[in-house]
C-alpha cells in the first residue's frame, strides 16, 4: 500500500504542472476570445465546425451560453450541437497532458473517437428534436 501511494504521488507530481498549464491555457483562451469570434467561422460544414470545437476546448457552463448566442445569430442547430459536443469532449490542446497521464495511444484514440462520435451525437440530437 505504501509503495502504491508513493508511486501515485510521483505520477501526480509529474503530471500536475501540465494539468495546471492546460487549465490556465484553456481559461486564458476562454477569456481572451470573445463569443462572437466563433460565430464568424461557422460555414455549415459539420467536420469544420467539429474541428473548431475540438481546438477551442471549454467548460460546459460556458458552452450553453455560447450555444444560445450562436443559435440567435442563425447558426444551424446541427453546427451548434457538433461544436458544443466537441468543445466539451475533444481537446486537442490537452493531448500532451493526457498522453503523459494515460498514454499517447489512448489519448489519440480517445480524442479521435470522441470527434467522430460528436458528429453522430449531433445528427441524432437534431433528428430527435425535429421529430418531437
Q: pLDDT digits over 61-104, tens only?
A: 677 777 887 787 777 788 888 888 888 888 777 888 888 888 89
CA-to-CA dists, residue 113 to 17, 88, 121, angstroms: 27, 14, 12
Nearest-CA neighbor of 90 among 61, 48, 55? 55
Check residues 18 and 35 and name the one with the higher pLDDT. Answer: 18
Check residues 79 and 18 and name the one with the higher pLDDT. Answer: 79
**What's the CA gap between 112 and 108, in Å, rounded?**
6
What does the DSSP 8-state code read for residue 94?
G
The reply to whether the predicted model has a pTM over 0.85 is no
**In the chain, where the domains are located:** 2-131
The predicted structure's pLDDT at residue 44 = 63
Residues contacting residue 90 through CB under 8 Å, at least 6 positions apart: 50, 53, 54, 57, 111, 114, 115, 118
* Local confidence band at 108 (pLDDT 50, 70, 90 cut-offs): very high
Amino acid at each position: 500500500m505504501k509503495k502504491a501511494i508513493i508511486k501515485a504521488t510521483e505520477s501526480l507530481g509529474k503530471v500536475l504542472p501540465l494539468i495546471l498549464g492546460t487549465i490556465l491555457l484553456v481559461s486564458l483562451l476562454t477569456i481572451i476570445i470573445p463569443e462572437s469570434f466563433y460565430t464568424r467561422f461557422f460555414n455549415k460544414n459539420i467536420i469544420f465546425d467539429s474541428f473548431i470545437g475540438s481546438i477551442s476546448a471549454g467548460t460546459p457552463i460556458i458552452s450553453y451560453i455560447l450555444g444560445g448566442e450562436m443559435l440567435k445569430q442563425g447558426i444551424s442547430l446541427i453546427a451548434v450541437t457538433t461544436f458544443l459536443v466537441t468543445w466539451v469532449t475533444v481537446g486537442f490542446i490537452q493531448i500532451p497532458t493526457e498522453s503523459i497521464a494515460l498514454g499517447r495511444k489512448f489519448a489519440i484514440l480517445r480524442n479521435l473517437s470522441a470527434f467522430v462520435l460528436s458528429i453522430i451525437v449531433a445528427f441524432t440530437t437534431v433528428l430527435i428534436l425535429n421529430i418531437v
